[in-house]
């Protein structure tokens, strides 16, 4: 059973992380309070000034040492990630590599993206020089989920640190050890860095809420939509800006000219890796009628080879909490009682703590299984008459995190019509592994971006610095206002707007 347990025997209060497959206790952690966060915040403010003074090159050097240390200790982190969430080592490894790539990319590109650059001051202010820079915000609060517990901590820390900020991390209570390990690894690699530049607090939702209200300069949250709403409300009390990376209901479109075998293989992996507990997991497929039967045959063939379990060779592990199991069960029940057909699995697939692969076909579009995030190993495949219908349905939920399309000739055209933060053509969710592209959603999948240039800028504020180089003669920003000044501005308006407009006609 997957639970957190609290103990009041010791002070401070603690909670345990339990392996969801074996029930074994993996570790205990303190429940930190607002007072603990306040202490870390004042230390972080001091350390952040030192960090900002290191400049892009200094920060890159330190972050590179961090990556090297992590790479050399990868087995330790794989084991911890595996024990806490019972996911196969291969899944842990995949998120670890993606996280390392984000650290490497942000450290290498921060100067290019954020350093001051000269821009035109415009005709009206041509006696000025103008620079735009992106300055660190100060201290970032980072609240992370359990399902990619290493990647979300690494990726958030990478953007925040490369942009010159300090960070306080609150990892999920279900994977607190992995989160703490990643934060502490920064100091193991760099023992000389001032204390408090990066720190973590552990605890349940209340600790996260306290971080939202602590006065950090920005709160970057990754997690579910309901918690995201609470985070935004708590942050509003101090007008703390937020990044929200929330859930999804990602759709894949299979067109008539798709490589059906590649599409079937990809959606089976996209739906079932991590037991479907992935924000960008493939939850829905829209296949055009002409190729539907062949596609279903291929999906069935690949999906029946997928196995759930803890033993070596299992494709994926257990559901993380009883609550998550209930959601999956509810969606299977809702879809089947509304007339969907089970291509693979069904009610019997739910055998706690595992849910064995389920593929359901022709589920009504207004069914909870289609409209809500399932976050479990269920793949829904619906038939459409053409690509236009597929696009309308893919865009038809409140979410907009990822989407994908399989089409040999029209992939790019279809991709442009999909409302999602990340779109993949002829593969699924590949943008997640690319540190150079922004990652984030629209609609109820949230707003703001991690990684890529936008991800770096997300953790800064834009500052304009303008410098007067010489006096123009009649100054518009001085009293008294003169007739000469009026004439000069009048003349300028004539040259810049009236004549140009006349030419355009």
Positions marked active-site: 245, 279
- Determine, following the binding rule CB under 6 A, whether residue 246 of this chain makes contact with ligand NAD: yes
Token representation of residue 481 = 């206002």
* Binds ligand NAD by CB under 6 A, chosen from 137, 168, 231, 282: 231
Q: Which residue is nearest to ligand NAD (CB)?
A: 208
Strand (E) positions, 117-271?
117-119, 128-136, 139-143, 166-170, 198-200, 218-222, 242-245, 250-254
Is residue 183 within the footprint of ligand NAD (CB under 6 A)? no
Task: Tell which phi-psi region holds residue 138, choosing left (phi > 0), alpha (psi between -120 and 50) or beta.
Answer: left
CA distance 450 to 100: 14
Q: Tell me the torsion sign for CA atoms 166, 170, 172, 177.
A: positive
Distances (CA, A) of 499 to 221, 502, 503: 51, 5, 6
248-287: contacts with ligand NAD (CB under 6 A): 248, 279
Contact between 150 and ligand NAD (CB under 6 A)? Answer: no
Q: CA end-to-end span of the chain, whole Å? A: 73
* Residue 310, C-beta contacts closer than 8 angstroms, at least 6 positions apart: 21, 22, 86, 317, 318
Q: Exactly one of 145, 156, 435, 443 binds ligand NAD (CB under 6 A); which one?
A: 145
C-alpha 163/C-alpha 155 separation (Å) is 13
Residue 262 tokens, joined: 């590649």
**What is the closest distance, in whole angstroms, from the C-beta atom of residue 244 to ligand NAD in the complex?**
8
Question: Per CB under 6 A, which region of 24-32, 71-79, 217-225, 478-486 contacts ligand NAD?
Answer: 217-225
- Asked if 450 and 156 touch (Cβ cutoff 8 Å), the reply is yes
Question: What is the nearest approach in angstroms of ligand NAD to the Cβ of residue 426?
Answer: 23
Q: At 192, list the tokens.
A: 């000389």
Give the one residue of 47, 212, 291, 334 binding ligand NAD; rule: CB under 6 A.
Answer: 212
What is the closest distance, in whole angstroms, from the C-beta atom of residue 396 to ligand NAD in the complex? 18
Q: How far is the CB of 117 from ligand NAD (least distance, A)?
A: 30
- Residue 169 C-beta: closest distance to ligand NAD, Å: 10
Q: How would you list the strands of the sheet with 242-245, edge to edge?
A: 198-200, 166-170, 139-143, 218-222, 242-245, 446-447
Q: For ligand NAD, how many residues bind (rule: CB under 6 A)?
A: 31
Min. distance of Cβ 242 from ligand NAD in angstroms?
Answer: 11
Q: If residue 16 lies in a helix (H) or strand (E), which one and from where to where? A: strand 14-18
| Out of 67, 94, 390, 401, the residue judged to bind ligand NAD by CB under 6 A | 401
215 lies in the binding site for ligand NAD (CB under 6 A)? no
435-454: which residues touch ligand NAD (CB under 6 A)?
441
Say whether residue 36 binds ligand NAD (CB under 6 A). no
Toward ligand NAD, which CB reaches closer, 441 or 455?
441
Per CB under 6 A, which of residues 371..390 are in contact with ligand NAD? 373, 375
Q: What is 336-399 written as a DSSP string?
A: HHTT-EEEE--GGGEETTEE--EEEES--TTSHHHHS---SSEEEEEEESSHHHHHHHHTTSS-
Work out whether 95 is an interface residue with ligand NAD (CB under 6 A). Answer: no
Is the alpha carbon torsion for 411, 416, 417, 421 positive or negative?
positive
Regarding 209 and contact with ligand NAD (CB under 6 A), the answer is: yes
Pick the closer one to ligand NAD by CB: 217 or 292: 217
Among 91, 173, 283, 372, binds ligand NAD (CB under 6 A): 173
153 binding ligand NAD? (CB under 6 A): no
Q: Which residues, in sequence order, are CB contacts of 238 under 8 Å at separation 6+?
A: 213, 215
Residue number, 225 or 260, with CB nearest to ligand NAD: 225
Q: Give, as ranges, the residues between 335 and 374 that touch ligand NAD (CB under 6 A).
A: 373
Residues that bind ligand NAD (CB under 6 A): 143-148, 152, 170, 172-173, 204-205, 208-209, 212, 222-224, 227, 230-231, 234, 245-248, 279, 373, 375, 401, 441
């Amino acid at each position: 059973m997957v639970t957190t347990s609290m103990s009041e025997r010791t002070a401070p209060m603690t909670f345990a992380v339990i392996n969801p497959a074996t029930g074994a206790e993996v570790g205990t952690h303190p429940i930190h309070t607002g007072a603990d966060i306040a202490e870390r915040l004042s230390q972080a403010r001091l350390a952040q000034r030192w960090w900002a003074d290191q400049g892009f090159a200094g920060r890159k050097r330190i972050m590179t040492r961090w990556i090297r240390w992590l790479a050399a200790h990868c087995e330790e982190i794989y084991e911890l990630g595996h024990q806490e969430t019972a996911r196969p080592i291969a899944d842990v490894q995949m998120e670890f590599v993606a996280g390392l790539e984000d650290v490497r990319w942000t450290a290498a590109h921060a100067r290019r993206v954020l350093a001051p650059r000269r821009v035109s001051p415009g005709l009206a202010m041509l006696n000025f020089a103008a620079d735009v820079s992106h300055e660190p915000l100060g201290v970032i609060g980072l609240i992370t989920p359990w399902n990619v517990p290493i990647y979300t901590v690494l990726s958030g820390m990478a953007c925040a640190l490369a942009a010159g900020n300090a960070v306080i991390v609150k990892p999920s209570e279900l994977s607190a050890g992995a989160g703490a390990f990643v934060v502490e690894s920064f100091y193991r690699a760099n023992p000389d860095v001032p204390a408090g530049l990066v720190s973590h607090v552990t605890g349940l939702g209340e600790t996260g809420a306290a971080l939202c209200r602590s006065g950090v300069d920005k709160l970057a949250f990754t997690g579910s939509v309901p918690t995201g709403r609470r985070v935004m409300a708590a942050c509003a009390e101090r007008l703390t800006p937020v990044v929200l990376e929330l859930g999804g209901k990602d759709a894949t479109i299979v067109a008539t000219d798709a490589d059906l075998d590649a599409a079937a293989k990809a959606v089976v992996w996209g739906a079932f890796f991590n037991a479907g507990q992935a924000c960008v997991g493939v939850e829905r497929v829209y296949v055009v009628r002409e190729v539907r039967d062949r596609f279903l045959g291929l999906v069935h063939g690949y999906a029946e080879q997928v196995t759930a379990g803890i033993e070596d060779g299992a494709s994926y592990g257990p559901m993380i909490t009883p609550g998550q199991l209930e959601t999956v069960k509810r969606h299977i029940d809702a879809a089947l009682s509304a007339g969907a057909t089970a291509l693979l699995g069904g009610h019997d697939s739910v055998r706690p703590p595992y849910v064995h692969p389920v593929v359901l076909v022709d589920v009504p579009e207004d069914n909870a299984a289609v409209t809500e995030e399932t976050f479990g190993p269920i793949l829904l495949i619906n038939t459409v008459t053409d690509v236009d219908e597929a696009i309308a349905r893919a865009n038809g939920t409140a979410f907009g995190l990822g989407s994908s399309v399989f089409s040999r000739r029209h992939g790019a055209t279809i991709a442009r019509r999909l409302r999602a933060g990340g779109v993949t053509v002829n593969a699924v969710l590949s943008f997640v592994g690319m540190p150079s592209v922004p990652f984030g959603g629209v609609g109820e999948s949230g707003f703001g971006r991690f990684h890529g240039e936008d991800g770096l800028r997300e953790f800064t504020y834009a500052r304009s610095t303008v410098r007067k180089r010489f006096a123009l003669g009649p100054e518009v920003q001085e009293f008294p206002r003169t007739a000469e000044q009026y004439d000069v501005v009048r003349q300028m308006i004539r040259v810049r707007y009236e004549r140009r407009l006349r030419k355009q006609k």
